[in-house]
Chain A
Amino acid sequence: NAGVTQTPKFQVLKTGQSMTLQCAQDMNHEYMSWYRQDPGMGLRLIHYSVGAGITDQGEVPNGYNVSRSTTEDFPLRLLSAAPSQTSVYFCASSLLAGATKQFFGPGTRLTVL
């Protein structure tokens, strides 16, 4: 099993550009989520999904969109990148929401100039 994979590993964008961060898992997990990691602030939940076709907002959803058309994939879209979105982004999955172990992808380091 590859576990949770993310692409790209690094990305530099200019302000106003859009892009999609890819996330996939091969463990047949229902729950998937996106986090951003900022210095001194730990991990903050952006969006999550409890199954294909179902998504919801987390703590810091503004400026991001998600969709979940399949169980395996959960892409994160930045609509119009801003310097405040410079961060490291982690995707994660777990069998069920909340009470089962969560597995993290390797992360994407995004810089917005």
Chain B
Amino acid sequence: ILNVEQSPQSLHVQEGDSTNFTCSFPSSNFYALHWYRWETAKSPEALFVMTLNGDEKKKGRISATLNTKEGYSYLYIKGSQPEDSATYLCALGDMRFGAGTRLTVKP
């Protein structure tokens, strides 16, 4: 993987569902991975910065894991709410961004 890739591109879930998405990145020369939440008409908001292999971060119902050896990170949202609807971005420490996963949570 030469660049940062996110999947899926978009996701529609029902309120209460738990969901997860993936960020894949080149595992060589890794030093940090960022997750952002980006609501429409607003600016990106930092969720987590992860640096160590096996790192796990949690903020409320949102959590993330990191595997630097295989080059991926997962973002999990437990019990999705309509207010979780946003685009979730990941980026490497050198500020290469993925294209994002657009999450829509239906009431």
Interface residues of A (CB under 8 A from B): 33, 35, 40-45, 48, 58-59, 90, 97-107
Contacts and interface: CB of A to CB of B under 8 A. Distances in A.
Contacts of A107: 43
A7 to B, nearest CB: 14
Nearest to A101: B46
Given A43-B89, A99-B31, A104 B43 contact: yes
Contacts of A102: 34, 46, 95
Contact of B43 (A40, A41, A90, A99): A90
A41 B98 CA distance: 8
Contact of A42 (B32, B43, B46, B89): B89
B16 interface: no
A52 B44 CA distance: 24
Contact of A101 (B42, B43, B49, B94): B49
A35 B96 CA distance: 11
B35 to A, nearest CB: 10
Given A41-B99, A98-B94, 17 more contacts: A42-B98, A42-B99, A43-B44, A43-B97, A45-B95, A58-B95, A59-B96, A90-B43, A98-B31, A98-B95, A99-B49, A101-B34, A101-B49, A102-B46, A102-B95, A104-B43, A104-B45
Nearest to B90: A42
Interface residues of B, number: 20
Nearest to B49: A101
A58 B96 CA distance: 9
Contacts of B32: 98-99
17 contacts: A35-B95, A42-B89, A42-B97, A42-B99, A43-B91, A43-B97, A59-B96, A98-B32, A98-B93, A98-B95, A99-B31, A99-B51, A101-B46, A101-B49, A102-B46, A103-B46, A106-B43
A48 B43 contact: no
A40 B51 contact: no
A48 B93 CA distance: 13
